C-alpha cells in the first residue's frame, strides 16, 4: 500500500507564486519533500522543463558558468539540491 502524501495545497501555492515571480525557492529541512514537490510540478507542465541536480557532477559543471547555462533556456528551470556554502 502506497503512502503518498497529498501536496495539493503546496502545489497550488507554488504555481501561484510562479505566475507572479520569475524565481521561486522551495526551502525547508532535509527529507521533507521539496524535491518531490518540484517533480510533481514538472509533471504537470506543458512548457519546456530544464532540471539541474547539483548532486550530479555533470549538472554542477554545466552551472559553473551560470549565465552561459541559463540565459538561453526558456520555460521552467529547476535547480535541485542547492546547499549553503560551508
Confidence of residue 13 (pLDDT cuts 50, 70, 90): very high
The strand pair at 49-53 and 76-80 is best described as parallel
Q: How is residue 10 written as a grid cell? A: 503546496
Confidence of residue 78 (pLDDT cuts 50, 70, 90): very high
- The pLDDT of 15-40, averaged and rounded, is 94
End-to-end CA separation in angstroms for the chain: 40
Indicate the helix (H) or strand (E) that contains 39: helix 34-43
| Global confidence as pTM | 0.84
- Which residue from 59, 52, 61, 54 is spatially nearest to 81, judged by alpha carbons? 54
Higher pLDDT, 76 or 1: 76
Tell me what pLDDT residue 83 has.
78
Amino acid at each position: 500500500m502506497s503512502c503518498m502524501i497529498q501536496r495539493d495545497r503546496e502545489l497550488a501555492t507554488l504555481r501561484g507564486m510562479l505566475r507572479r515571480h520569475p524565481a521561486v525557492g522551495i526551502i525547508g529541512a532535509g527529507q521533507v519533500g521539496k524535491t518531490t514537490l518540484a517533480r510533481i510540478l514538472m509533471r504537470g507542465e506543458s512548457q519546456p522543463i530544464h532540471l539541474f541536480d547539483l548532486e550530479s557532477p555533470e549538472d554542477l559543471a554545466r552551472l559553473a558558468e551560470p549565465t552561459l547555462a541559463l540565459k538561453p533556456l526558456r520555460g521552467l528551470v529547476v535547480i535541485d539540491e542547492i546547499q549553503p556554502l560551508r
